[in-house]
Structures are given as structure tokens and as C-alpha cells.
């Protein structure tokens, strides 16, 4: 299965600890990730959080809810989200958060694996989600 990699870096007007705390809360991804409309079944154990996020895909008046399994693992400087979606789509996003001046620098690296017939769609949606997260975090924590 082919693997795609991409990354973005952006600055925020909040300390790394504040950004980290926000990104560790599964509820933060409702609205931050454009397709996520619900999170449920949240289980925390040490530095790992597992939950189900519900993505909603719309096509005119129709929609399909896609439950995805998410595992968030935290270190002092990074948060890694591993996603298992139906259709054998796998995504790992690592946000490295470092202090800069009066705020933070966030570099998010994404690795996406998807079968050939879903690859273009999954890649487009993953890039849109990454851009949405950067924009949402920048709006929440302006410089």
C-alpha cells in the first residue's frame, strides 16, 4: 500500500503546555478537524488516550458517518495521533510543539497509507484536515 508524507509548520501565541493540553482533549477535534462531528468511548491510560471519532461525509442532502479509531500518545514535546479508518486507511499525525518567543511553533507531520482506490480521496481529505487544524489553532491562539 503506498504511503504519502507531508508536513506543515505554524506559530501560535500560546505556551506549548497550553497547546499540548488542548490537543490531548479528544473533544477539541470537533470543529478543529472539519469532518469530525462526535467523539465517544474515550479511554485514558497514562500518556495514551483511545477514542472513536465520527467523521461525517456529506453529498448533497445525504451523509455517511464514518467511525474511526484514534489513539493519541503524548510526550513532553510531541503528540502523535494514530487513526484506523474503515477501508484500510491509516494515518499517523505527529505534532511537535516547541517554545518560540512568547508562544509555540508547531510542526505537524502526516503519514498516510491508503489502498489505491481511496488514495487520492484520503490524501485530499487529510491535507484539508491538516490545513483546518493549523487555521483553527491559529485562530484560537493568535500571535
- Nearest CA to 6 out of 136, 142, 125 is that of 125
Asked if pLDDT for residue 117 goes beyond 90, the answer is: yes
Q: pLDDT of 98-108, one tens digit each? A: 999 999 999 99
Residue 111 is assigned to a structural domain of this protein: yes
* Stretch 108-122: mean pLDDT: 96
pLDDT at residue 67, rounded to an integer: 96
**Model pLDDT, residue 31:** 87
Residue 2: its pLDDT value, please? 85
Residue 17 maps to a domain: no
The neighbour count for residue 79, using CB atoms within 10 Å, is 22
In a domain, 39, yes or no: yes
pLDDT at 58: 87
Section 121-126 average pLDDT: 94
The length of the chain, given as a count of residues: 143
Q: Which residues span the domain enclosing 94? A: 22-138
Instruction: State pLDDT tens for residues 15-54.
Output: 999 999 999 999 999 989 989 999 999 999 999 999 999 9
38 found inside a domain: yes
Q: At 77, which CATH number?
A: 3.30.530.20
- Its pTM stands at 0.92
> Domain total for the chain?
1
Tell me, yes or no, whether 5 lies in a domain. Answer: no
State the SS3 of the chain: CCEEEEEEEEEECCCHHHHHHHHHCHHHHHHHECCEEEEEEEEEECCEEEEEEEEEEEECCEEEEEEEEEEEEECCCEEEEEEEECCCEEEEEEEEEEEECCEEEEEEEEEEECCHHHHHHHHHHHHHHHHHHHHHHHHHCCC
Q: Look at residue 115 and tell me if it is in a domain.
A: yes
Given a cut of 90, whether residue 131 has pLDDT beyond it is: yes
In a domain, 8, yes or no: no
Amino acid at each position: 500500500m503506498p504511503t504519502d508524507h507531508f508536513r506543515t509548520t505554524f506559530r501560535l501565541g500560546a505556551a506549548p503546555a497550553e497547546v499540548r493540553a488542548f490537543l490531548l482533549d479528544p473533544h477539541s477535534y470537533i470543529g478543529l478537524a472539519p469532518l469530525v462531528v462526535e467523539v465517544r468511548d474515550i479511554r485514558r491510560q497514562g500518556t495514551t488516550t483511545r477514542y472513536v471519532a465520527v467523521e461525517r461525509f456529506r453529498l448533497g442532502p445525504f451523509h455517511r458517518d464514518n467511525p474511526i479509531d484514534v489513539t493519541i500518545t503524548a510526550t513532553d514535546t510531541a503528540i502523535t495521533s494514530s487513526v484506523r479508518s474503515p477501508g484500510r486507511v491509516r494515518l499517523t499525525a505527529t505534532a511537535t510543539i516547541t517554545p518560540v518567543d512568547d508562544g509555540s511553533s508547531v510542526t505537524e507531520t502526516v503519514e498516510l497509507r491508503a489502498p489505491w482506490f481511496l488514495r487520492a480521496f484520503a490524501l485530499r481529505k487529510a491535507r484539508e484536515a491538516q490545513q483546518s487544524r493549523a487555521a483553527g489553532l491559529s485562530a484560537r491562539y493568535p500571535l
